[in-house]
Amino acid sequence: MRKRALITGITGQDGSYLAELLLAENYEVHGTVRRASIERLDRIEKVIGRINLHQADLLDQNSLMNILKEVEPDEVYNLAAQSFVPTSWKQPIYTGEVNAIGVTRLLEAIRLVNKGIKFYQASSSEMFGNTPYSPQNEETPFYPRSPYAVSKIYGHYITMNYRDSYGMFCCSGILFNHESPRRGEEFVTRKITLAAARIKLGLQEKLKLGNLDAKRDWGFAGDYVRAVYLMMQHNQPDVFVIATGVAHSVRDFCKAAFECVDLNWENYVEVDSSLIRPADVNHLVGDSSKARKLLKWKPEVSFEQLIEMMVASDIELVKRRKG
Ligand code: NAP
Ligand code: F7E
């Protein structure tokens, strides 16, 4: 029989890649969507006829209970979140409601409907924040620097708590930053690749950024959802760090992206102090040896290939939007 998966956050970057991967693995794929005045299904356009969408929200307990009863999934992937760090200072309570209590709502729904459903929680390298230890692995202490990071720590620990208290298959992936042409346009990588494309095509003059010294371990979202899937197929529910092991600064990213369109980034990028965060995370780099050993996972797309892919896609997008 076909396995059935439910993805919360299927309309997001990772949800769309995971849906494609699970379809390729012959799953019956279900996803949650939130009601909005305009439907935003662009990321899942390619697979829309092959997946099943259901209205639900992590803020609404009954919608989660009903969907679990209706779909009867074997696996639930909880990717839904308020995922933009700066918004978490503007809306800290909302961020906590979705990213922290929302996880408990979903876990409670699973516990009450069917404790046998496997559960994946999308945890984040932001939980490490400004930890003095580098590189970060599954044992590294957390030092969160934003309401987002704090909310994700709650989500991570409640997941482990349901595993240990109720013997449920609950695993948590601590994923470092992962990007793609489907990345939201406000995140720094996409903001840079889109600007490089627009500047090259004469539609934008300058790119305003905040902290250029921040370093991140950037990978490709397509590689990372494969790790997520492998965690759910592992013989026991566990915690895994997923990362490339190489960090670059925002400045490095700018240089490489503008080089893809034969421009010198220094002529276009300006620092805007209003984009500097109340507290930033300066340097993150992950050690994913556990996943490499136990899940036989490794990233396939390099930093340079990722940037080329994103810039090429944004050039096409900008040309289409212009037309
Ligand atoms: P994303 O593109 O921002 O997608 C977030 C998804 O969550 C969207 O489908 C969004 O729906 C949905 N959502 C937001 N609030 C919701 C609510 N109250 N109820 C139900 N759905 C809700 O994020 P992503 O980059 O794919 O990341 C996926 C997950 O991994 C998130 O939990 C994120 O925090 C975590 N994470 C991401 C990274 C990364 O580098 N990308 C790294 C570590 C962890 P709408 O389309 O309606 O807005
Ligand atoms: O920022 C600096 C900024 O917003 C990266 C989310 O997916 O990954 C993501 O969180 C760095 C920060 O990602 C701008 O200060 C400079 O140091 O792309 P970002 P993030 O905050 O690391 C983690 C793992 C998640 O879990 C999150 O959900 O870039 N930066 N100038 C800027 N950042 C933005 N957004 N915009 C700027 O203009």
User: What does the pLDDT look like over 4-46, one tens digit per residue?
Assistant: 999 999 999 999 999 999 999 999 999 999 999 998 999 999 9
Question: Which tokens sit at 308?
Answer: 């080329």
Is position 293 within any domain? no
Question: Which tokens sit at 148?
Answer: 């987002």
Q: Sign of the CA dihedral 66, 70, 73, 76?
A: negative
Residue 127 beta carbon below 6 angstroms from any ligand 2 atom: no
Q: How far apart are CA 278 and CA 247, in angstroms?
A: 22
Regarding whether 120 and 164 lie in a shared domain, the answer is yes
Regarding whether 89 and 233 lie in a shared domain, the answer is yes
The set of catalytic residues is: 124, 126, 148
Regarding whether 170 and 270 lie in a shared domain, the answer is no
Q: Does 157 score more than 90 pLDDT?
A: yes
Q: How far apart are CA 160 and CA 307, in angstroms?
A: 35
Instruction: Please list, in sequence order, all residues whose beta carbon lies within 8 angstroms of the beta carbon of residue 266, skipping any fewer than 6 positions away.
Output: none
- The residue assigned the tokens 């810039």 is 311
Regarding whether 100 and 9 lie in a shared domain, the answer is yes
Residue 279 beta carbon below 6 angstroms from any ligand 2 atom: no
> CATH code at 44?
3.40.50.720
> What is the whole-number distance in angstroms between the Cα of residue 323 and the centre of ligand 1?
30
Question: Which tokens sit at 27?
Answer: 């799953």
Q: What is the mean pLDDT of the chain?
A: 98
Q: How far apart are CA 83 and CA 95, in angstroms?
A: 8
Total domains in the chain come to 2
Regarding whether 144 and 22 lie in a shared domain, the answer is yes
Q: Which neighbouring-strand residues pair with 174?
A: 123, 241
Residue 315 beta carbon below 6 angstroms from any ligand 1 atom: no
Is position 297 within any domain? no
Is position 258 within any domain? yes
Report whether 87 contacts 139 (CB < 8 A): no
Is position 295 within any domain? no
Regarding whether 223 and 213 lie in a shared domain, the answer is no
In which band, very low, low, confident or very high, does the pLDDT at 72 lie, cut at 50, 70 and 90? very high
Which domain covers residue 64, as residue numbers? 4-178+218-242
CB-CB neighbours of 65 under 10 Å: 18
Regarding whether 147 and 59 lie in a shared domain, the answer is yes
Q: How far apart are CA 157 and CA 144, in angstroms?
A: 14
Regarding whether 307 and 204 lie in a shared domain, the answer is yes
Residue 188 beta carbon below 6 angstroms from any ligand 2 atom: yes
> What is the whole-number distance in angstroms between the Cα of residue 263 and the centre of ligand 1?
33
Residue 319, classed as helix, strand or coil, is helix
Is position 23 within any domain? yes
Q: Does 1 score more than 90 pLDDT?
A: no
Is position 296 within any domain? no
Closest protein CA for atom 47 of ligand 1: 34
Question: Which tokens sit at 139?
Answer: 């044992």
Q: Does 126 score more than 70 pLDDT?
A: yes
Stretch 152-173: mean pLDDT, rounded?
Answer: 98
Regarding whether 147 and 20 lie in a shared domain, the answer is yes
Segment 81-108, tens digit of pLDDT: 999 999 999 999 999 999 999 999 999 9
Report whether 142 contacts 131 (CB < 8 A): yes
Stretch 202-222: mean pLDDT, rounded?
Answer: 98
> What is the whole-number distance in angstroms between the Cα of residue 320 and the centre of ligand 2?
27
Question: Which tokens sit at 120?
Answer: 């994946």
Stretch 174-200: mean pLDDT, rounded?
Answer: 98
Q: Which ligand is nearest to the CA of 183?
A: 1
Q: How far apart are the first and last CA of the chain?
A: 46
Which stretches within 72-131 are classed as H helix? 85-90, 92-96, 102-113
Is position 192 within any domain? yes
Q: How far apart are CA 165 and CA 245, in angstroms?
A: 33
Regarding whether 170 and 130 lie in a shared domain, the answer is yes
Report whether 155 contacts 95 (CB < 8 A): no
At 322 the pLDDT is 80
Cis link prior to 135 (omega < 30° from 0)? Answer: yes
Regarding whether 316 and 255 lie in a shared domain, the answer is yes
Instruction: Please list, in sequence order, all residues whose beta carbon lies within 8 angstroms of the beta carbon of residue 321, skipping any fewer than 6 positions away.
Output: none
Q: How far apart are CA 300 and CA 233, in angstroms?
A: 20
In which band, very low, low, confident or very high, does the pLDDT at 323 lie, cut at 50, 70 and 90? low
Is position 291 within any domain? no
Regarding whether 207 and 117 lie in a shared domain, the answer is no
> CATH code at 311?
3.90.25.10
